Chains A and B, each alone.
Chain A
Amino acid sequence: MRGMSIIVKKVVQLMSALIFVFGLYIVSHGHIDPGGGFTGGVVLAGSFIVLILAYGVDYFKLKKQKEITSLFENVSILILLLFGLSGLFAGSFYFFNNYLSPGAPGTLISGGLIPFYNLFIGIKVGATMFVIFLALTIYKEEASK
């Protein structure tokens, strides 16, 4: 049997969704709480990594997952760059200008553009961490073949 025992598999199945939601919480509260895009992204990547650890590796499936994840990474960093550039064209000519209204401090909908940056940094970091994990696993598989 590939991967770990049935108990670990079932627990991980249940836990991974919870870990994912916790990652989303950290990402979305980045502008009012400690945490943010990077921390939350790492947690998001963790939810996928535990699944692979529990279920074992399938070389060809990994290759495909790596392709898709790097697409995510690519698109999210382009969107981040476009957000930065949008500051230039929102009337003030400042790169990375936060032109939305800041709102009331401490509430969820505040901070102007920062929640959006956090969201895409979260996707970017999650995808990157996952790609690094997949790449290292693929190299290990290739080396042990």
Chain B
Amino acid sequence: MNMESWVITLFFVLPFFCAFVNPLADRIFPGVQRVLTTVMTFALLILTIFVCFYHQQTIVYAVGGWKPVGSVPIGIHLVLDGLSGFMLLMINLIGFFSAFYAIDYMKEYTGGKYFYVLICLMIAGMNGVVLSGDLFNMYVFMELAAKSSYALVAFGLRKDELEASFKYQVLGGMASLLILFGITMLYWKTSTLNMADISNLLQNSDNDAFILFVQLILITGFGVKSALIPFHGWLPDAHSSAPSPVSAILSGVLIKASGIYILMRLFINVFHPDEYIALVIATLGGVSMFVGALLAVGALDVKRLLAYSSISQVGYVVMGLGLGMTVIAKGEDASAAALTFTGALFHMFNHSVFKGLLFLNAGSVEYATGARNMKQMGGLAKYMPVTFASTFVASMSIVGIPPFNGFFSKLLIIVAAINGEYYFRAALGIIVGVITLVTFVKFQVYTFYGKPAFVSDFGESPTFMKISMISLVVLCFVLSILIIPEVRSLVIDPALDTLLETNGYSTKMPGS
């Protein structure tokens, strides 16, 4: 390994450092933590771009310098490969824009210093999850991110926020314990926690009943974490109760980093892709897509509507994932799997950008009017042109209107489903697209058109909120060029290669 690889520890050391310097700095210079956190997240973004685009190779880093004994790895390892790099880019992008947006938004809350501590810890946790090469270490980082998100959901300390947080904690706690149970069973079977080593050991044995049981337990756990439909009870409450920049991070990246990313990593890279497990995952995804979209149509609260639509959009990603796994498990053409995985990864990135943007928009509407119920709004387009325009772009993206990014990723998933002759899933994708269209037309009409429900004693949002929203709007346009293969090979293909090599992950051990 080369000497610069210690850089990857900075991904969680920097936010940790920032988190605990914040309250100290706040004693001396009140308010400085806003600047500190924003600068820190920006530094992380630069670091991610450097690591992903300039360094472009797999890094395996042994924490504490523990060398493997023979071929048995000991100690904790960090692994940075294509998929981790892709997730890091997503996390730190949304993290930066949320922190930037929060500079103005959090002024109305008291206790701002704790907000920044928690948000730094959450970013540290998510970065740790995607970098970890060790199951238990991954679990610890996942808990770190989850614990800070519990506290952030209850940040306003109102009745409904506390209730949402309690519900989130109980369900999230049960999910974490199920995951820990799965990890224990895996350790019992393989006597190791290193994921590459587990992958190596499981390669030589068939999927017996024990492993299937572990897989089902893990699917349940990560299903709760990523809010797939039978396990979604906490998400609409938690995501709509949190302060808006936090909702953007929760919905944009947390459910992906601590749910879908680990599903991808475990079920494609560590376990054998199994046909029945793939069917379970694809079914969960399909059901989430459809039911989530139906729930979103009925919602009247702006942030609840966005939260339900998160369930539906995450369903697309999971369905694409399940589809690709089925193709791999059946041993069919790898290019078909490549197409679905590209669609899933691309849609995941797109969703984090436009759903982050939509939550920031909802936050700025709430900041200006103090209302979240759509029936109380109307005619806001006149007063808030920037918010109106950015919401329009984000809605068109999520619905899938051609020049915007959401169109291309949905198209890829649907085309892949048709190519693989899964016509029912392709039809489901199109139907859900139509329902999403209805949802967001309703959102636009109620909120921004019609006759003004307010007297005009408010204006556009403050500067930092505007800059953050406009940057994400630009990203919504820019990301659609990822459909061009040359550009795609820079961003998505490293992640895609990681997924396609399936058990090739087992070579990513130190000393090999």
Contact = CB atoms under 8 A, between A and B. Distances in A.
Contacts of A74: 20, 23-24
Nearest to B19: A77
A87 B64 contact: yes
B23 A94 contact: no
B20 A77 contact: yes
B434 interface: no
B240 to A, nearest CB: 25
B62 interface: yes
Interface residues of A, number: 18
Contacts of B5: 93
Nearest to B8: A95
Contact of A94 (B13, B24, B65): B65
A95 B17 contact: no
A130 to B, nearest CB: 17
Contacts of A70: 23
Q: Which of B9, B13, B21 has the most CB of A within 10 A?
A: B9
A98 B13 contact: no
Interface in A67-81: 70-71, 74-75, 77-78, 81
A27 B62 CA distance: 27
Interface string A71-110: 1001101100100110110001111111000000000000
Nearest to B9: A95
The main secondary structure of chain A at its interface with chain B is helix
A36 B13 CA distance: 24
B16 interface: yes
B20 A95 contact: no
A94 B63 contact: yes
Contact of A97 (B3, B16, B64): B64
Given A70-B23, A74-B23, A94 B64 contact: yes
B353 to A, nearest CB: 32
Interface residues of B, number: 16
B24 A97 contact: no
Contacts of A93: 3, 5-6
A42 to B, nearest CB: 19
A5 B392 CA distance: 69
A94 B62 contact: yes
Nearest to A67: B27
Contacts, number: 41
Nearest to B66: A94
A69 to B, nearest CB: 13
B131 to A, nearest CB: 12
Nearest to A73: B20
B3 A95 contact: no
A98 B64 contact: yes
Interface in A46-81: 70-71, 74-75, 77-78, 81
Interface in B390-427: none
Interface in A84-141: 84-85, 87-88, 92-98
A102 B426 CA distance: 62
Contacts of B20: 74, 77-78, 81
A19 B23 CA distance: 31
A75 B21 CA distance: 9
B63 A96 contact: yes
Q: Which of B3, B20, B23, B61 has the most CB of A within 10 A?
A: B20
Contacts of A71: 24
Nearest to B22: A74
A74 B16 CA distance: 11
Interface in B1-57: 3, 5-6, 9, 13, 16-17, 20-21, 23-24
A93 B65 CA distance: 8
A107 to B, nearest CB: 22
Q: Which of B3, B6, B13, B23 has the most CB of A within 10 A?
A: B6
Contacts of A94: 6, 62-65
A77 B144 CA distance: 15
Nearest to A92: B65
Nearest to A93: B6
A78 B17 contact: yes
Given A74-B23, A78-B17, A94-B65, 20 more contacts: A74-B24, A75-B24, A78-B20, A81-B13, A85-B13, A87-B64, A87-B65, A88-B9, A92-B65, A93-B6, A94-B6, A94-B62, A95-B6, A95-B9, A95-B13, A95-B61, A95-B64, A96-B63, A96-B64, A98-B64
5 contacts: A74-B20, A84-B13, A93-B5, A94-B63, A98-B64
Nearest first, the 5 closest Cβ-Cβ pairs linking A and B are: A94-B65, A95-B9, A96-B64, A93-B6, A97-B65
Interface of B: 3, 5-6, 9, 13, 16-17, 20-21, 23-24, 61-65
Interface of A: 70-71, 74-75, 77-78, 81, 84-85, 87-88, 92-98
